Amino acid sequence: MKHLVIPGTGTFVRAVETVSGRAPIILGKPEKFMYDCIKYEFPDLDPSKAIMIGDRLNTDILLGKTTGLRTLLVLTGISDLNEVERCSNSDCENDQKMVPDYYLPSLADLGQMMGVF
């Protein structure tokens, strides 16, 4: 079986940017637009009392880190502990921003810890 490469959304954004000659406003993660919308609706939100939960380092965890939220990586999706270790050992500042504060095998584990599930 051949390895299939599927371009991400950034590929299409770049194509439209090139053709239009205009810079886009990116709304998706890891851009902080979503966080700013939440902060607008809930101005008293204290980032130190919130947590960003996600399964991908370069979107979910990076968004959490750049907005001052604690971060929890669940290992049921895209990123794994090998990727966390690579980022943790990297000299690149952007890689360091993708190291989560916490990780769990799955979101169900969080529910069990909290007595929800």
Does any domain span residue 108?
Answer: yes
Torsion, Cα 85 58 52 23, to 10 degrees, reads: 160
Q: Are 84 and 103 in contact (CB under 8 A)?
A: yes
Residue 83 located in a structural domain: yes
Asked whether residue 13 is domain-assigned, the answer is: yes
* Structural domain of 35: 9-114
At 9 the pLDDT is: 80
Total domains in the fold of the chain: 1
Q: Which residues contact 34 (CB under 8 A, 6 or more apart)?
A: 27, 28, 63
Give domain status of residue 2, yes or no: no
Q: What one-letter code names the amino acid at 71?
A: T
Report how far residue 98's alpha carbon sits from residue 52's, in angstroms, rounded to the nearest whole number.
12
**So what's the pLDDT on residue 72?**
97
Residue 35: how many other CB atoms lie within 10 Å:
21
CATH number (domain holding residue 57): 3.40.50.1000
Q: Is residue 88 part of a domain?
A: yes
- Residue 110 resides in a domain: yes
- pLDDT, one tens digit for every residue, the chain (117 residues): 577 777 878 888 899 999 999 998 888 899 999 899 999 999 999 998 999 999 999 999 999 999 999 999 999 989 999 999 999 999 999 999 999 999 999 988 887 888 776
Q: Judge contact between 94 and 65, C-beta under 8 A.
A: no
User: E strands along the chain, which residues?
Assistant: 51-54, 70-74, 102-104
Is 31 inside any structural domain?
yes
Tell me, yes or no, whether 4 lies in a domain: no
